[in-house]
Chains A and B, each alone.
Chain A
Amino acid sequence: MEALEPPRLAVRRFRAGDLSLQTVAGAAALAAAFLVCLIAYTIVRDAKPAWSKDGLAFVTRDAWDPVKHVYGAGSFLFGTAVTSLVALALAAPLALGVALFLTELAPRRLRGPVTALVETLAAIPSVVIGLWGILVLGPILRDHVEPALHSTLGFIPLFGPPASTGSSVFTAIVVLTIMILPIVASISRELFLGVPGELKEGALALGTTRWEMVRGVMFPYARGGIAAALILGLGRAVGEAIAVTQVIGSSVGIHWNLFATGDTLASKIAASYQGAEDGAQVASLVYLALILLVFSLVMNVSAQLIVRRVARRQGIGAARA
């Protein structure tokens, strides 16, 4: 709209607009940075009692006993890593499949409704998914999936004896997979849509099959963006608290059996912060929050590095990343 106006007029009007835009945008950016600093400061301050009592030993200790005042983050850190990484590993191929289906393979009439449904999945509140996890998913996994996996792949320690209740690390992983799937799928769909038609047609014209075109043109083109989408999904999985609390069965201890109960950092904080009775427990919970913050930061930064490296290697992907 502005482009249609005479250039001189536009320049003069823009001055005031530029200034106010700069002020508002700058203030917003500063406020966001300030807020992050404030949150970090509060967490560090409130975690201090636990930090000065236990130091780094807290991070690896796998105990949480509010009666004897012994606290440690070990089992929660382990649980967070296992649930989020396995969920991501399960969600990534599924999400890419969904995205490919929606952009390349699905009949045109199906694309709109299915896309809308996938996006609706992302909009379901986590507490609702958690509830469904308790009432429907947990019992199904316990009665059908876990026994089958245990009897066929039981020699791998991951697939130990099935849980007696529907709550287990595995249930939490499946719930997280369902939660991050739509995020990764819809971003990947956008990326695939952004692959220039002439590149795809060129590849097909050279006689590639559709799969060769996907592998040779679409994936490399979108690689950086897909990595970024996976980071977003991972972030969601690491930080998810409520749905995990509902289905993971909250127990302390480090073990490899996915079918036993466990806990994660976010889930422990969500379950225990409200109504925490004494200062030591509150400080220890805030210490967990600090670890979660650092953990997410490390994951974010390393993921950024991966994206950048991939982008650099792929000249064309750099623009998208």
Chain B
Amino acid sequence: MNRILAAAVAAAFMVTSCALAVAAPGKQSSTTLTGAGSTFVDPLVQQWVPAVAQAYGYELQYSPIGSGGGVAAVSSRTVDFGASDAPLSRDQFGACKGCVQIPWALSATSVIYNVQGVRNLLHMNGATLAKIFSGAITSWNDPAIRKLNKGVALPDLKIATVHRSDNSGTTFNFTDFLSSASPQWRSKIGTGVAVSWPGGTGSRGSSGVAATVAQTPGAIGYVDVAYALKSRLTYFAMQNRSGKFATPGLKGILAAASSDQKPDGTNALSIVDPPKKYPLAYPISTFTYVIVPLQSQKAPELKKFLFWAVTKGQKAGPRLLFQPIPKPVLVVAEKAIARIHA
């Protein structure tokens, strides 16, 4: 009886594995668009999934595996498009062989804190923030912080910095800002999706950083703005080059975005810490990019989807604190999309 059972199990196993082997390639022929990359842009893309299905009947599958992973995936052509918060480096462009990078969403990073009894939107600037994250400023009642927040009773509380332990476009945006604001940070630590932090606690993902900050009196961390709003944490108003304190809202992001509307040859835009003629700009804003091979078997579908994403798709943004991309950038994006071919 045991043998009969074993034979039956073996037969069932073989049948299912054959069935799986047959079913897998069959899926390719339907219009499924697969993408992978940035977690930052994920909430927006998830809004697009049902809308794209409704508009074109395409099945959109997006895996938020992180910017670096998305670039690697599109370079090996295991997905139809990749998404990255940091513009591609020259090496990455080389490895991707004939890829184009298109700005397709616009948002910001907010710096969150946890101090009991202190109001939201305390003032902060880049130089002080760089000192805090380097460990040079360790207390909430440090003169540098008090000077920025006159009239606010700041407690004698130890500052605990919290950063991302995984690779993240949010970290890139944040360290890009610190590098811009502090020469010491630029030379000692630098800018990247992960850096060698001089101290503090690493947590996994935006959710991890937000949880650790929420658990720790005196903590300062950074997450994408949508996350800060969702988790009801207090966050800083950041001083920009004009000396004004800007909040990470749609207005501040739009003002920052207007500082660079002429993408370079690779369509990269830099809007971090914009010059002082943009008094409303929130200084830790960033474009995020979709990366597509210029030659793609699914070119017609991919083009349709991308055109939709940079136009109609942007309407889903503001609710999630993604500012629709400005006109001049849209023109650049559309030109780039038009170059995709079969």
Contacts of B2 in A (CB 8 A): 1
Known: A1-B1, A67-B196. A164 touches B216 (CB 8 A): yes
Interface residues in B154-186 (C-beta closer than 8 Å to A)? 158, 160, 162, 165-168
* Contact indicator A272/B196 (Cβ below 8 Å): no
* Contact indicator B165/A245 (Cβ below 8 Å): yes
* Contact indicator A261/B166 (Cβ below 8 Å): no
A selection of 12 A-B contacts at a CB cut-off of 8 Å is A1-B1, A67-B189, A68-B190, A164-B201, A167-B203, A250-B203, A251-B200, A263-B202, A271-B202, A275-B167, A277-B167, A277-B193
Known: A249-B201, A250-B202. A272 touches B208 (CB 8 A): no
* Contact indicator A64/B196 (Cβ below 8 Å): yes
A165 to B165 Cα, complex, angstroms: 14
Q: How far is the CB of A201 from chain B (nearest CB, A)?
A: 38
Q: How far is the CB of B171 from chain A (nearest CB, A)?
A: 10
Shortest beta-carbon contacts, A-B, top 8: A275-B66, A250-B202, A275-B68, A275-B167, A164-B160, A65-B196, A250-B165, A67-B190
* Contact indicator B215/A135 (Cβ below 8 Å): yes
| Cβ-neighbour of B216 out of A166, A250, A252, A272 (below 8 A) | A166
* Contact indicator A272/B166 (Cβ below 8 Å): yes
A contacts with B: majority SS: loop
Contacts of A134 in B (CB 8 A): 203, 208, 211-212, 215
Question: Taking CB as reference atom, which chain A residue is nearest B191?
Answer: A67
Question: Taking CB as reference atom, which chain A residue is nearest B162?
Answer: A165
Contact with A along B52-65 (1 / 0, CB 8 A): 00000000000001
Q: How far is the CB of A137 from chain B (nearest CB, A)?
A: 11
Cβ-based interface call for A246 (8 A): yes
Interface residues in A255-274 (C-beta closer than 8 Å to B)? 261, 263, 271-272, 274
Question: Taking CB as reference atom, which chain B residue is nearest A168?
Answer: B201
Interface residues in B1-21 (C-beta closer than 8 Å to A)? 1-3
Q: How far is the CB of B251 from chain A (nearest CB, A)?
A: 31
Interface residues in B120-169 (C-beta closer than 8 Å to A)? 158, 160, 162, 165-168
- Residue in B158, B202, B203, B211 whose Cβ sees the most chain A Cβ within 10 Å: B202
Residues of A that sit less than 8 Å from B by CB: 1, 17, 63-68, 70, 134-135, 138-139, 163-167, 245-246, 249-252, 261, 263, 271-272, 274-278
A70 to B204 Cα, complex, angstroms: 22
Cβ-based interface call for B195 (8 A): yes
A271 to B216 Cα, complex, angstroms: 22
* Contact indicator B165/A276 (Cβ below 8 Å): no
A135 to B160 Cα, complex, angstroms: 17
Q: How far is the CB of B257 from chain A (nearest CB, A)?
A: 25
Q: How far is the CB of A110 from chain B (nearest CB, A)?
A: 36
* Contact indicator B203/A249 (Cβ below 8 Å): yes
Cβ-based interface call for B219 (8 A): yes
Q: How far is the CB of A92 from chain B (nearest CB, A)?
A: 29
Contact with A along B64-92 (1 / 0, CB 8 A): 01111111000000000000000001011
A274 to B215 Cα, complex, angstroms: 26
Cβ-based interface call for B274 (8 A): no
A66 to B193 Cα, complex, angstroms: 9
Cβ-based interface call for B248 (8 A): no
A68 to B192 Cα, complex, angstroms: 10
Contacts of A263 in B (CB 8 A): 202
* Contact indicator B194/A66 (Cβ below 8 Å): yes
| Cβ-neighbour of A276 out of B1, B68, B195 (below 8 A) | B68
Contacts of B204 in A (CB 8 A): 245-246, 271
Question: Taking CB as reference atom, which chain B residue is nearest A65?
Answer: B196
A111 to B189 Cα, complex, angstroms: 57
Cβ-based interface call for B218 (8 A): yes
Contacts of B208 in A (CB 8 A): 134, 246
* Contact indicator B65/A275 (Cβ below 8 Å): yes
Question: Taking CB as reference atom, which chain A residue is nearest B212?
Answer: A165
Cβ-based interface call for B197 (8 A): yes
A9 to B118 Cα, complex, angstroms: 87
Cβ-based interface call for B199 (8 A): yes
| Cβ-neighbour of B215 out of A63, A66, A68, A165 (below 8 A) | A165
A112 to B215 Cα, complex, angstroms: 38
Q: How far is the CB of B169 from chain A (nearest CB, A)?
A: 9
Question: Taking CB as reference atom, which chain B residue is nearest A166?
Answer: B215
Contacts of B193 in A (CB 8 A): 66, 275, 277
A263 to B202 Cα, complex, angstroms: 10
Contacts of B69 in A (CB 8 A): 274-276
Question: Taking CB as reference atom, which chain B residue is nearest A282?
Answer: B72
* Contact indicator A165/B166 (Cβ below 8 Å): no
* Contact indicator B167/A272 (Cβ below 8 Å): yes
* Contact indicator A67/B200 (Cβ below 8 Å): no
* Contact indicator A17/B3 (Cβ below 8 Å): yes
Q: How far is the CB of A68 from chain B (nearest CB, A)?
A: 7
A276 to B66 Cα, complex, angstroms: 9
Contacts of B192 in A (CB 8 A): 66-67, 277
A261 to B197 Cα, complex, angstroms: 12
* Contact indicator B196/A252 (Cβ below 8 Å): yes
* Contact indicator A66/B165 (Cβ below 8 Å): no
A222 to B127 Cα, complex, angstroms: 63
Q: How far is the CB of A72 from chain B (nearest CB, A)?
A: 11
